[in-house]
Homo-oligomer: A and B are copies of this chain.
Amino acid sequence: MLENNNFDEVVLKRHTAREFDPEITISKGELLQMITYATKAPSALNMQPTRFVVAQSNAAKEKIAAVAGTNAPEILSASAVVLIGGETDLGPFEEDLFKRAEAAGLLTDRAIEHQKPMIENLVATFKENQQALREFIIQNSSLAAMSFMLAARAYGYETGAMTGFDHEKIIPALDLDPNHFLPTLLIAVGKPKSAPDSLYRIPASKITVFK
Contacts and interface: CB of A to CB of B under 8 A. Distances in A.
Interface of A: 2, 4-8, 10-12, 14, 16, 28, 31-33, 35-42, 44, 46, 48, 50-57, 59-60, 70, 97, 100-101, 104, 106-108, 110-111, 114, 131, 134-135, 138-140, 142-147, 149-151, 154, 161, 163, 174-175, 184-185, 197-205, 207-211
18 contacts: A16-B42, A32-B204, A33-B204, A35-B204, A42-B149, A52-B209, A53-B208, A54-B209, A55-B211, A60-B211, A100-B202, A101-B199, A138-B138, A138-B142, A140-B142, A143-B146, A150-B150, A174-B211
Contacts of A163: 44, 139
Contacts of A36: 12, 203-204
A128 to B, nearest CB: 17
Nearest to A46: B199
A146 B142 contact: yes
Nearest to A55: B211
Contacts of A101: 199-200
Nearest to A8: B5
Given A10-B7, A138-B138, A207-B51, A201 B40 contact: yes
Contacts of A32: 204-205, 208
A208 B151 contact: no
Contact of A100 (B48, B139, B200): B200
A184 B37 contact: no
A8 B2 contact: yes
A108 B175 CA distance: 38
- Chain B CB within 10 A, most for which of A12, A107, A199, A202: A199
B53 A211 contact: yes
A205 B28 CA distance: 10
Nearest to A105: B200
A49 B209 CA distance: 15
